[in-house]
Amino acid sequence: MTTHRRFRRAALPAALLTALAAGPAAQASGFAVPESSVAGLGTANAMVANPDEIGAFVYNPAAMAFHDQSSLAVGALMIGPDFSVRTDSGSHDSAGADWLAAPMLQAALRINDQWSVGLGVTAPFGLETRWETGTFPALTNSAPLPSPPFPAGNTIPLSPQPTASELEIVDINPTATYRVNQHLALSAGADIYWGKSAQLNSSITQLEGDGTGLGFNVSALYVKDALSLGINFHSAATVELDGTYSVLDSNLVATQFSAPSQSGELDLDLPWRLQLGIRYEVTPQLAVEVDWTRTGWSEFKEIKVIGDLNGDTIVQDTNDWSDANAYRLGATYQLTDQTQLRFGYSYDETGQEDDYFSPRIPDNDRHLFSLGVSHALQDGWQVEAGYMYVMISERDVRGSRPYAGAGPEINGTDAVAGKYEAHAHLVGLEVSKRFDLF
């Protein structure tokens, strides 16, 4: 069940709308942002089999069953992305925000020895890129408008160039956990997705709006002595976005690039996610975890916009992404009774093939390096900090097919050819409190 919200402004071209689903973040492949707690940030997100840390709940809610107190954790993730591309017109930096913020909240209430309930709030998907007009020369040139009624001498861009792209999706995640026995716990919950903001602009159009969608998640955690095994699955979901679209120049209305302003609907397909983890306490101080994540990017096949005037398909764009893997290694070291050190490394594969490469997200395989620290205070309080560096492999895009010279379809063509480079810094801070509910 989903509900619709209203766009304040929206855009039309397929290239622009493709970016909504095509991508953000410099933190994980595609447009996923898996850093959901500061503990996860410090261990490169290798947390699905961790029964000890409050920060593991968002990666595997079944971990709540192995804590004998309730807890509340509140924090924020700061993301500093850096994108650039070298095209025939020179080197261009993405002029996005220097730092982006994402929320982190996790509440866990212990009802009794068998049952616990939780509520998490994170931002698992996001996007921020901004290319100045002229970055892609093939899309900057223009041609005369068709004959009157258009004013004589006016020109039209050969295709809309992607400019500003911004997307933030918040996941409100209520869960219930049942401890089957001493070693095994099961959990199930809902993923209530709120498309908090969406802005996708081109050289001739603009888009802003929001919407909602619904999915589910299930997880399990098995703990015996020094060994623990975890699994977590989030279903695919569709965020339904409603709104109106408009163009920046009224002369473009009724051309191949746009249509009259009207209300419209856009469905954004989110991928399913499967996480498996194994953790072993090598010594009382040192624990090591290895995780594998499979993200179902094949769910993201097309973008289709339906207009309200005649119910016509205004935009239909193919993306055809592939499922992708991530391999994560994390370690925790209990330096003292109060202080824990964390380290992590992850290799994330991209799901974006050359055939539909989008300049709104210079996505590629990436290496994630992280470290963190937590310190326990008095009366159940704990403070945590983490840092991650994301190194994205350079991508030399040639274009899988020639650009047709007109029309909105530019993804995967030689019109967006260039050398794309990106990296990101992530910093997280979180405060938590353990307490007895009853």
Question: Contact at 8 Å (CB) between 358 and 22?
Answer: yes
Segments of the chain with pLDDT less than 70: 1-30, 96-97, 141-159, 207, 249-260, 313-318, 405-408
Question: Contact at 8 Å (CB) between 230 and 277?
Answer: yes
Residue in 43, 65, 76 with CA at minimum distance from that of residue 333:
43
At 24 the pLDDT is 38
Residues β-bridged to residue 354: none
Quick: pLDDT tens for 371-422: 999 999 999 999 999 999 999 999 999 988 888 765 567 888 898 999 999 9
At 314 the pLDDT is 65
Residue 317 tokens read as 């764009």
At 87 the pLDDT is 93
Residue in 212, 166, 239 with CA at minimum distance from that of residue 9:
166
pTM of the model: 0.87
Distance (Å, whole) CA 294 – CA 328: 11
At 178 the pLDDT is 98
At 102 the pLDDT is 85
The architecture that CATH gives domain 14-139+157-435 is Beta Barrel (2.40)
Residues β-bridged to residue 228: 223, 279
Distance (Å, whole) CA 136 – CA 120: 41
Residue 154 tokens read as 């006016």
At 14 the pLDDT is 33
- Which residue ranges make up each domain of the chain? 14-139+157-435
Residue 90 tokens read as 């020179």
The CA distances from residue 130 to 302, 324, 361, in Å, are 23, 26, 10
Q: Say which residues have a Cβ less than 8 Å from residue 245's Cβ, sequence separation at least 6.
A: 7, 9, 10, 11, 12, 205, 207, 258, 259, 261, 262, 264, 305, 314
